[in-house]
Amino acid sequence: MMEIKKVGLITSGGDAPGMNACLRFLIKGLIDRGITVYGIKRGYKGLVEKNYSILTKRDAGGIIQKGGTILGTARFPEFKNKEILEIAVRNLEELNIDLLFVIGGEGSMKGAYALHERGVKIIAIPASIDNDIYGTDESIGTDTALNAIVRSIDVIKDTASAHDRAFIIEVMGHTSGFLALYSSIAVGAEAVFIPEYDTDVDEVVRRLNQRFDEGRTNSIIVVAEGKASGYDIKQLMQEKGVKYELRVTVLGHLQRGGAPTFRDRKLSFDFATYAMELMGKGIHGVMVAKQKGNITHINLKDVITNKKHLEKRILKIVETLKWED
Ligand code: F6P
């Protein structure tokens, strides 16, 4: 087995709270193993543009509680281009990087797999608020984002009640309804619209009007951005004769920053330490994962060729959200 002397760390795609915690555990752990650690700046873009430097333990100090990523990140669709990918491979060879740790979301896993196919040794770590990466039940950042959504909707409920209004809250998630579905459970929403399910708008309006007639002072409808915009749902409900006065709140990037929760810091610790164990065993071409409570790993090829689905048991909730009382 080849001895690992130099590694690269990269955060890519949308940032996720906990990326810094993960970097902290990796930087300290790797330096303790006598390994030289390169920090690649601004994702795959920095790899192509030779934007990197050696990290020290000082770089890992004071970052565990910070959202974002000290390495920076970027959307870099150009990485799909074969010539651009070749530049990245050459730069890694020139630096004599033995192994690359990629921390990122679904798109970053595709980039990681492309590098792996070109012979680069990769260990990937799932980090995305969307929690849409196949093969892992949890991704770094999702729990913090969910907490941010729940806190925001709790706040909105106060003003909604004061004005007898219904609020439509649009949340992130890319093409996944995970954030919308799980937050709707935690706030006791009256309805949720997600890409994975066809919510019956007529039924929602009928039930909201029933609530209005009963004098219920607020109603909450959560919409996943991947399904529709909050404003589209508002228009649709107005056309269908909803009695509540409606307001729309798009939570946007307020969902993606802030101090990571305990759960996300612990997940970062579990993923980082397990990734270093894999490195020690000479395993690469994989993504670390959490499955049924256990930390494990899965081939990158499986990650990028499969689509993650929402848990059926939870999906059923869409039909039963809070109507009976
Ligand atoms: O992937 C994370 C995410 O926040 C998605 O939920 C959202 O669709 C997207 O990133 C927004 O990306 P950007 O910050 O590049 O606009």
155: CATH: 3.40.50.460
Residue 318 has pLDDT above 90, yes or no: no
Residue from 73, 109, 128, 256 to probe ligand 1 pocket by mutation (most atoms less than 8 Å from CB): 256
1 located within any domain: no
Q: Whose CA is nearest to atom 12 of ligand 1?
A: 14
**Distance from Cα 172 to the centre of ligand 1, integer Å:** 7
pLDDT given at position 320? 65
Q: Closest ligand 1 atom, CA of 179?
A: 6
The mean pLDDT of the chain is 96
Mutate to test the pocket of ligand 1, among 11, 15, 130 (most ligand atoms within 8 A of CB): 130
Q: Give the binding-site residues of ligand 1, using a 6 Å CB cut-off.
A: 14, 75, 105, 128-130, 172-174, 225, 256
Q: How confident is the model at residue 321 (pLDDT cuts 50, 70, 90)?
A: low
Query: Following DSSP, what letter does each residue of 215-229 receive, concatenated?
Result: T---EEEEEETTT--
Same domain flag for 203 and 113: no
Nearest to 22 by CA among 74, 66, 76: 66
119 C-alpha to center of ligand 1: Å?
30
Separation of alpha carbons 50 and 53, rounded Å: 9
Share of the chain above pLDDT 70, in %: 98
Residue nearest to atom 13 of ligand 1 (CA): 14
Same domain assignment for residues 266 and 135: yes
Is the pLDDT at 316 greater than 90, yes or no?
A: no
Cα distance between residue 147 and residue 98, in whole Å: 38
Gap from CA of 14 to ligand 1 centroid (Å): 6
- Nearest atom in ligand 1 to 225's CA: 8
Measured from the Cβ of residue 123, the count of other Cβ atoms closer than 10 Å reads 27
> Considering its fold, how many domains does the chain have in total?
2
Share of the chain above pLDDT 90, in %: 94
Domain residues for the domain of 87 are 6-141+260-307
316 domain-assigned: no
Q: What is the DSSP annotation of 196-217?
A: TS---HHHHHHHHHHHHHTT--
Which amino acid is located at 189 in the chain? A
Q: What is the CATH number of the domain that holds 86?
A: 3.40.50.450
220 contacts 321 by C-beta, under 8 angstroms: no
Euclidean distance between CA atoms 193 and 222, whole angstroms? 6
Residue 89 and residue 14 share a domain: yes
Atom of ligand 1 minimally distant from the CA of 13: 1
Contact predicate 126/105, CB 8 Å: yes
What the block records as the tokens of 3 is: 């001895």
Tell me the C-alpha distance between 48 and 87, whole Å: 6
In which residue are the tokens 């081939």 written? Answer: 299
Residue 69 pLDDT more than 70?
yes
Task: Identify whether 318 is part of a domain.
Answer: no
Q: For residue 71, is it within any domain? A: yes
Domain match, 35 and 131 both: yes
For residues 38 and 107, membership in a common domain is answered with yes
How high is the pLDDT of residue 218? 87
In angstroms, rounded to a whole number, what is the distance separating the alpha carbons of residues 144 and 17? Answer: 7
Q: Which residues are annotated as catalytic?
A: 130
Does 135 share its domain with 269? yes
> Has residue 262 got a pLDDT over 80?
yes
pTM (two decimals): 0.97
**The two structure tokens encoding residue 254:** 């307020």
pLDDT of residue 137: 98
Separation CA 16–CA 259 (nearest Å): 10
pLDDT digits (tens, 9 = 90+) for 112-171: 999 999 999 999 999 999 999 999 999 999 999 999 999 999 999 999 999 999 999 999
pLDDT of residue 1: 74
State the distance from the centre of ligand 1 to the C-alpha of 112, rounded, in angstroms.
19
CA of 123 to the centre of ligand 1 (A): 23
Do 278 and 230 share a structural domain?
Answer: no
> 308: number of CA atoms within 13 Å, CB side?
25
Q: What is the average pLDDT across 255-261? A: 97
Q: Which atom of ligand 1 is nearest to the CA of 256?
A: 4
pLDDT of residue 230: 98
With the most atoms of ligand 1 within 8 angstroms of its CB, the residue from 108, 174, 175, 223 to mutate is 174
Residue 38: strand pairing partners: 8, 54
pLDDT tens, residue by residue, 219-250: 999 999 999 999 999 999 999 999 999 999 99
In a shared domain, residues 241 and 162 = yes
Ligand 1 pocket test target in 108, 140, 172, 227 with most atoms within 8 Å of CB: 172
CA of 101 to the centre of ligand 1 (A): 22
Q: How far is ligand 1, taken at its centre, from the CA of residue 309, in Å?
A: 19
Point out the ligand 1 atom lying closest to the alpha carbon of residue 130.
6
Residue 322 has pLDDT above 60, yes or no: no
User: With contact defined as beta carbons under 8 Å apart, do 189 and 221 qualify?
Assistant: yes
Report the pLDDT averaged over residues 189-199.
Answer: 95
**Amino acid identity, position 60:** A
pLDDT of residue 58 exceeding 70: yes
